[in-house]
Every structure is written in C-alpha cells, then in structure tokens.
Structure 1
Amino acid sequence: MTTQTGEDDLVEYGFRRVIITITAVLCAMLEIVDTTIVNVALNNMRGSLGASLTDVAWVITAYAIANVIIIPMTSWLSQQFGRRNYFAASIIIFTVASFLCGNATNIWELVTFRFIQGLGGGALLVTAQTIITESYPVAKRGMAQAIYGMGVIVGPTLGPPLGGYIVDHFSWPYIFYINIPLGVIATILTLGFVKSPKYGEKLKVNQVDWWGIFFLTAFIGSLQFVLEHGQQDDWFNNDLIVLLSVISLFGLLFFIWRELTYKYPIVNLRVLKDSNLRVGTIMCFILGFGLYGSTFLIPIYTQSILGWSALDAGLLLIPSSITTGLMMPFIGRAIQKGIPQAYMVAAGFLVFFIFTFWMRNIITPDTGAEHMFWPLIWRGIGLGLLFVPITTLSLSTLKGKSIGEGAAFTGMMRQLGGSFGIAIITTFIARFNQEHRVNLISHLNKTSFELQQTVKQLQMGFMSKGFTANEALDKAHKAIEYKVIIQGNVLSYMDIFMYLGILFLLCIPFILLIKKGKNKIDLSDAMH
C-alpha cells in the first residue's frame, strides 16, 4: 500500500491539474462516444461490407464485451506497468485500433479491431476516473467527480448526432478516424503530465493470476453476449444462450473463489468490505440502467414511431446533457459543503421518476420535439443529482490503490447496468408489442359502423389514386393494420416508461434507510 505522503504527492495544483483534468475527461469521452457513435452507421457498414444484420450487430457486441472484461482488471494492470504508462498504452491501442477499424475490408476484420479498440477503451474510462480523483485533494473530490461526470454523461448523447452528421456528410470510416488526432494529443499530454503512484514490486510472470483472468473473461464475456443477443436469439430457447448463461454462472463462482483464495488476485474483492463502495456499486448499476436505458429508448421511439432521422433523434437529447453538465459544478460544490449524498441521490431518483411518468403521458404517434423538451430537461437534472453523489460516495473512504480498485467496480457496474437495461427494455418492447397488438385486434369489431366507415373512406382514397376496388380495399385493411401496430408500439413504450419510473421510486426508501442505519455513509466525515 502507498504511504500517505506518496498519496499526497499525486495531488496537483494550478496549470498541471487543469491539463491532467482535460486529458482524463477527453479520454473518458472518447471511450463513451465510441460506444454509441456506431449505432447510426450500422446500415452503411452493412451495405459497404456486405454483412447481414446479425453480423453487423457484432460491431457493438465485440466492443462492449472487451470493455467489461478489461474494466475490472485496470487497477491491477496500472499497478503492474505504472499508471501513466498503462494509460498512455491504452490510448495508443485505442487510437491504432480506430485507424484499423476505418480501414477494415470485411465485417470480421472490423469486429476484431473493435474488440481491440474496446480493450484500450475500457481501460481509459476507469483509469481517467482514478487519475482525476487522485489529482485533487480529498476535500475537493466532489468537484473532481463533477468534472469527470460531465464527460461520462455527455458522451453517450453526443455519439448518435455526431455519428449521424459524419455518416450523412462523409462516410462511416470517419467515425473512427475522428479519434486519431484526439488520441495523439491525449498520449502526448499523458506522457508529459500524468504521474504514476509507487505501489511496490511488480509480480513475476508465474505469480500473475492467469486463472483469475480466465474465469473473469468467461463470466463477463458470456454474460455480455447473453445480454446483447438474448432477445434476437429467443433467450433460453436458444442452445448457445443457455450454454453461455451456464458458463457465465460458473465463471462467476470460480472467479470469486479464486480471488478470495489467491495471494495475488487480479481483482481485489476485499475492497468491497468498504460499506460506501458496496452501496455505491449497487447504485452505479441502477444509474447505468437509467442512463443507458433512457439514452437507448428515446432515439428508438423517435426513429421507429415518429420517423425521425438518426441525427434529429440524437440532437433531441443534447439539451438534457447540457443541463446535466451545467449542474455538475453546483453538485460538486454542494458535496464540498457537506450536504449528505444520500439526500441528493434520493432527490435524483425522484426527479427521474417524474421524468419517466411525464414521458409516459406525452408520447403518441405524433408527439413533437417541443413536447419532449421539458421532460428531457428533468432527465438532465436527475442525472446530475445521481452521478456525482453516487461516484463520490463510492470512493470517498478509499485510499491509495483502493481508489483505482473501487473505480473499477463502479465503472464495471455502470456498464453492466446499461447492458442489463438495454437487454431488458428490448425484450419487454418485443413482448409488450405482441400483447398490445393482440388486445387491440380483439377490440376491432368488424361489424362496428365506425370501423366500416373508416375502411370505406380509406378505400375511396386509394381508388381516387387509380387503384381498383379490390386493391384499394386491400390497402385500406393494411393501413388499419399499420395503425394498430403503431398504436401497440406506443402503448409498449408507455409501459416501459412506467416500469422504469417505478424502479427509480422503489430505490428511494432503500437509500434513505441506508443513510439512517449506517452513519459511516455520511460523506461530511469522509470529505473533510
């Protein structure tokens, strides 16, 4: 463990701290933007590389799997190679892989390079958080997390509009090439300014926890695949999904056993003895669920129901992200003044609940951007109240190398929360769609005068365009069916927003109970 003096040596002041902060936030944003920027380019990739929809989905899956595998290992790898060297190497891997992605000539080359890019990117996220935390004195760590949070919250929202703009005006390889100049600048700044803490001797090759790495990869990699592909492969009716679920479960059990019994574990599970970190990891999971779930849900609704372009759908979320970004410094200052995090987190979940029920009440087949503006501003306020207090609370009582280990857990849980959120939302949209379609069709009474009139009007409309009576009648029935499908979709999104809101509401008493039961979680003691 690092001595207190060594830990204080990492605190920076003035110009150096500004440069380190900018570098770390830039790297965190690079990683997160790349998680969502490819979503809008999948169709273009599919066309130019001659891939199927299932194949091209691996461009997202490979990156996500690499991310969640590397995140828990980042603290250990930092200790082995030195934080500055490991951070710089991760940026270089990410940047070189970005160049290779842009030059891929077939889909599987692109998937391979995306996996390598994910290995570099996952490390950026957690190491950036650790560098920022340790560069600020303990009393200002709330502000440090606020600055870091701006990058993490804004990143997922910037991806789709930026990707949409690049694809519309250039071509899909440029969504990867844009990383290259930023990666070069970040590497130079890292080598020039970032310090490495001294954590004692490095392990020899025969002391490395190879079994731990193997079990972690089996557990996280399989779980991520199941979450990404479960819905499209019909969940447990698919043999591969069942096999990978079993591998994931046994991978987790063997991983926990190995890390608790081996002398040099790849992931230090004992750091979870810290009660603040334990609570923080659960809340990070729920935060990931809400952040990535809503970032996924709103563009899907606006594109599939309202017929918006990817660029317009992405731009809709920007005011929400700006609101969160503007709130971050105020939240950081409130934490420094000793306002308990538990109250802020409870308020954040309440605001998120209001956002989801507001959205539920305004969505229709022709809702406009003006109707969604204020609910999305509320979403931004909710994320601002959640992100910084949860992250600061998680790391507040950790010292030395435990900060990096704690940041790895919170980062992993936020990513997994997002994966669970997207998988569950995708599944429920499909299930609710079927349910609502059946219900709506059962209520369509063929003998109803209103229905007959509607069909007649539609038929006359099609006949006026030159169709025969039979063709026009067929088209009228199809138009009615299309309306039923759209209405069923809207009802499904309403249900999803309602259940998301209930989830956030249920979290509030849990957080307030923790506050009462364990005074250790009062951050005013840990911060000053």
Structure 2
Amino acid sequence: MSQGQWDRSRSAAGDRNPWLIATVVSIATFMLVLDTSIANVALRDIAGSLGSGLDEATWVITTYLVANVVIIPISGWLAGIVGRKRYYMLCVATFTVASFLCGLAWNLQSLLLFRILQGLSGGGMAPSEQAILADSFPPEKRSQAFALYGVAVIIAPTVGPTLGGFITDNFSWHWIFFINGPFGIISLSLTQWLLVEPDALKKERREKLRGGLRVDWIGMVLVVLWLGCQEIVLDRGQQDDWFSSGVILGFTAVAVLAFALFLPWELSRRDPIVDVRLVFSRQFGMSFVIMMSVGAVLFGSTQILPQLLQTSFDYTAYLSGLSMMPGGLGMLIMMPLAGAVAGWIQPKYLIATGMAVIAVAMWHMTNLAPDATFGFFAWARVFQMIGLPFLFIPINAVAYAGLRPEDTNQASALINMARNLGGSFGISLANTVIAQRSQFHQSRLVENVYPASQAYQHVSRQVTDYFLAQGMPRPQAQALATGWIGQAVGSQATLLAYIDVFWVSALFAATMVPLVLLLLRPTPVGRVASAH
C-alpha cells in the first residue's frame, strides 16, 4: 500500500459505525482535559488543606505535566508493543484509580505521587485516541472526525475552571478528582464492548515481538531525562530566579546533554523508541512546529487569564472560570463549521486564518484597563477561541497526510508532544514576562511618585481624607494613604505586565502566519477519495 492511503483493516471500528468509536474515545478525552483544567483554580485551597505553601502546591501541576510530557513520545511505541486497545484501556483504568487516590490524599507528598501516576497514564490516552481516529476514518472524513473529538477537548476546559471553582468554593477540592470516577467507568465499559483490536495491528505486534522484545532503553532514558528536566526548568525557572539557581542550572545541563545525545541516537536506531525522522519530513515537521506554536499561545493565555482575574480583579475561582465559559461555547459553535470547510479549503489557508484570528484576539487584549468588566473578559475569550477550530482540525488532518499507516501511532504521539512542549514554553514565557515586566513598570512608575509631585500630593490628600472620614487619626490615615498609593502603583505595574504578555502573544501568532503558508499542499480530499 502506498503512502497516505487508507488501510481499512486498521480500523478500530470493525463492522461498527466509526462515528460511534469517535464518540467513545471522546469520553476519556473529556475526563483527561477536565482534570487538567479543573485543578488550576483549586491550588490555594489544596495548599491550605494540606498545610503547604502556594509555591509547594504548584508542584501538583508540575508533577502531572512532567509525568505527562515524558510518557507522550514513547506512548506510540508502547501502544505497538502492548496492543493499542489494551494500552488505551490500561491508561484509562490507571488514570481513574489515580484520580480516586488523589481525592484521598492525606498530605502533599501523597498527592504528588498520585498526580505522577495520573500524568503517566493520561499522557498515553490522547495519542492512542488520535491514532484510533486516524486509522478508523478515511482521509476525506478525518477532519469531521477530529471535529467531533475536538468537541470534548473544548467542552472540558470550558466547564473545567467553572466547575472546579464551584466545587472548590462550595464543597471540597477532593471532589475535583472524585468526579473522574464515573467517566472512567463508562469509558472502560464502552471501550471493551465496542472497540476492536484490528488484525493488521495484531500482525505488526507479533512481528515486533518475534525473536524477542527489543527495547531501546537508552533512547527511553534519554527522552525521559530531556523532557522531564526541561519541564522542571520551564515550570520552576521563574520562581527559582532562573540560572542564578544551582538547581535550575543542573536540570538545564542534564536536559541539554540528554537532547544532544537523544537526537543522533534515535536517528541511528532501526527500532527507535521515538521515530524522530518524522519530524524531519517537511509536511509533518511543519505540522509539529505549528502545533507547538498553537500550544504556546493557547496554554499560555489559559494559564494567565484566571491568574489575572483572581489577583488583579479580585474574582473568585468560580467567577474567573465562568468568564472563560463563553469562549468555549464560541469554539463549540465554530467546530462543526471548521470540520465542514476543511474538506473544501486547503488546510494551510485555514491554519493561517486561525493564526491571524488569534493574533487579532491577543492584540484586542492589549486594551485591558483597570476598570475592565466581566463582559470584556468574556468577549475577549470568545475572540481567542473561535480561531482554534481552524487550527486543531486542519493541523491534525495535514499531519497524517502522506504518512504510512504503520506510522500513525508514532505520529499521534509526536503531535501531542508538540502541543504539550509548546504549552510548557508558553506558560513559562508568560510567567517570566509578567514577573520581569512588573518590576520594570514599577520602577518606571515609581519615578513619578515622589512627595514633591503635585499629582502625588493631590492623591495623597484625597486618600487621607477618605481614611479620616472613617474615623482614623491623622497619622494612621496618612500612613494608610501612603500604603494605598504604593499598592496602586504595584497593581498598575502588574496590569501593564499582563498587557506586555498579550503583545508578545499577538506578535508571535502574526509571525506564524507566513510560516504556515510554507506547508506542503496535500492532495485534495476529493482526489484522495476517488483514488479508492
């Protein structure tokens, strides 16, 4: 069979309707993405409940991401060795059990251990699901299949922060993990009942195991060291003052050395644990880079918006999550449209359009003001999200174009790795810009705040009079006025730093538009369909 053709014998649907299979795999996706987004808004409560600081509690996110990112690139190999259906069900079952254990965690250390288990199992789910979709649908229907799959990816982060905030504010953070149980049980039951392990995959597995299992242990160790250390550097770098920290320097050195050894080692293997050759092909390589870029902008903005709302605008966890819900609804409406037009318009033009929309949306966020309303944030999120269906669907469709059927598992793992890598870089960059630019803006603003300034004296008198009206003695009122002015300067500096993040995101997305147009033009859908 030539490259890029669809092999029906690899379908996980068997004699059943493949759309039923797409629905089934979306259930676990919903659970996975929901858990990722729902925990972010509960960190303060987790820290307080377990007697730890907020900095320590952020390891609840970090440990999950590290475990998630190190398993993704080798998940394609694992699925081929264990069997795709068996590996997928093992991931879902382990994730469900780990979620229950997270809810029962008695201290921070136990919670971190169970989050690592969650990350390892969750990292293998998405690549397996996307490989199942790519193998179960012919090329002319993959865009619509990924659109249906994308609905779960949209709904989960849409309701995740809102649901997480509601549960945290009204019940207990333990329940943000317990709610995964029903989804996991339903997913396992339907997967066992409806999914099949195709004969073609069984044959490939037997061939791999014939003569004994050959494991690329060196490649596995190198990829774990590279991605694990890199994730720790990106996540903890700003908090530990980057390279002034010996710990960050050490993890950076290990990550750089591991990557320098990993690349030539995997390129020289006959059975590599990660088939990096795919990244060096123009079509898939460009898809990999663009997916990294999408992950950087999407994850970065999703991370800092609730943070902005809760710190600078005093929103509760529930209200900050609620402000992000309209964006998810807008994306949900656009997803079927993007899936439909993907069969008629060249993917690179759809991707370029999506990137342009993201750039304009980020530029719109630079209009952020201290008196911004709930409506401003809700509509800004809508503008950001409506372009994403025109990115995810065509990127996934174009990434698999021209690949051999047996490369599907590895391609799915690498595309998910690209999204997570980009997300890690985006979140790290956003937090670094906020911290450093806050200091910069505060130093500039303070230059204009001095006792001899008429503006300072005017504001100081107004604020002092306010505190005097509250019945405070003049010395105390003057001291409080001075503190209030300092706090106002700090808040303004922080707001300007967030605006800088939005500027950087807008410029980055705009720069990606011409790069997207370098994508190879895949065979038109109609032509592919007629070839069968």
TM-score by length of 2: 0.94
- TM-aligned CA distance change 1:437 to 1:273, over 3 Å: closer
Partner of 2:218: helix, strand, or coil?
helix
Aligned to 1:359: 365
Aligned to 2:123: 122
- What do the CA deviations read for 1:124-158 (whole angstroms, capped 9, x no partner)? 11111111222212210111111222222333333
Aligned to 1:429: 434
Aligned to 1:180: 181
CA distance in 2, matches of 1:228, 1:279: 26
Identify which range, 152-161 or 172-181, moves more after superposition: 152-161
Identify which range, 8-17 or 372-381, moves more after superposition: 8-17
- What do the CA deviations read for 1:253-288 (whole angstroms, capped 9, x no partner)? 222222122232111122334422111000000000
- Aligned residue identity for 2:414: F
CA distance in 1, matches of 2:60, 2:83: 31
Contact 2:140 2:526 in 1 (8 A): no
> In the TM superposition, what is the alpha-carbon distance from 1:47 to its structure 2 partner?
2.0
Aligned to 1:239: 246
CA distance in 2, matches of 1:434, 1:42: 25
Aligned to 2:138: 137
CA distance in 2, matches of 1:115, 1:474: 48
> In the TM superposition, what is the alpha-carbon distance from 1:489 to its structure 2 partner?
1.2
Identify which range, 114-123 or 193-202, moves more after superposition: 193-202
TM-score by length of 1: 0.94
Aligned to 1:229: 236
- What do the CA deviations read for 1:4-42 (whole angstroms, capped 9, x no partner)? 786445164896423321221111221122122111222
Is 1:168 paired with 2:169?
Answer: yes
Match of 1:333 among 320, 340, 351: 340
Identify which range, 402-411 or 441-450, moves more after superposition: 441-450
- TM-aligned CA distance change 1:397 to 1:476, over 3 Å: same
CA distance in 2, matches of 1:89, 1:523: 35
Contact 1:83 1:195 in 2 (8 A): no
> In the TM superposition, what is the alpha-carbon distance from 1:74 to its structure 2 partner?
1.1
Is 1:348 paired with 2:354?
Answer: yes
> In the TM superposition, what is the alpha-carbon distance from 1:2 to its structure 2 partner?
11
Aligned to 1:298: 305
Query: Identical aligned pairs, as a percentage?
Result: 33
Contact 1:340 1:523 in 2 (8 A): no
- TM-aligned CA distance change 1:369 to 1:526, over 3 Å: farther
Aligned to 1:382: 387
Q: CA RMSD in A?
A: 2.1
- Aligned residue identity for 1:352: I
Aligned to 1:369: 374
Contact 2:220 2:273 in 1 (8 A): yes
Residues 415-494 of structure 1 mapped to structure 2, 5 A cutoff = 415-494=420-499
Residues 397-416 of structure 1 mapped to structure 2, 5 A cutoff = 397-416=402-421
> In the TM superposition, what is the alpha-carbon distance from 1:205 to its structure 2 partner?
6.3
Residues 248-267 of structure 1 mapped to structure 2, 5 A cutoff = 248-267=255-274
- TM-aligned CA distance change 1:137 to 1:455, over 3 Å: same
CA distance in 1, matches of 2:513, 2:524: 16
Contact 2:23 2:148 in 1 (8 A): no
Contact 1:351 1:382 in 2 (8 A): yes
Contact 2:7 2:135 in 1 (8 A): no
- Aligned residue identity for 2:244: N
Contact 2:287 2:399 in 1 (8 A): yes
Contact 2:14 2:196 in 1 (8 A): no
Partner of 1:493: helix, strand, or coil?
helix
CA distance in 1, matches of 2:122, 2:171: 24
> In the TM superposition, what is the alpha-carbon distance from 1:520 to its structure 2 partner?
4.8
> In the TM superposition, what is the alpha-carbon distance from 1:468 to its structure 2 partner?
1.5
- TM-aligned CA distance change 1:319 to 1:526, over 3 Å: farther
CA distance in 1, matches of 2:341, 2:9: 24
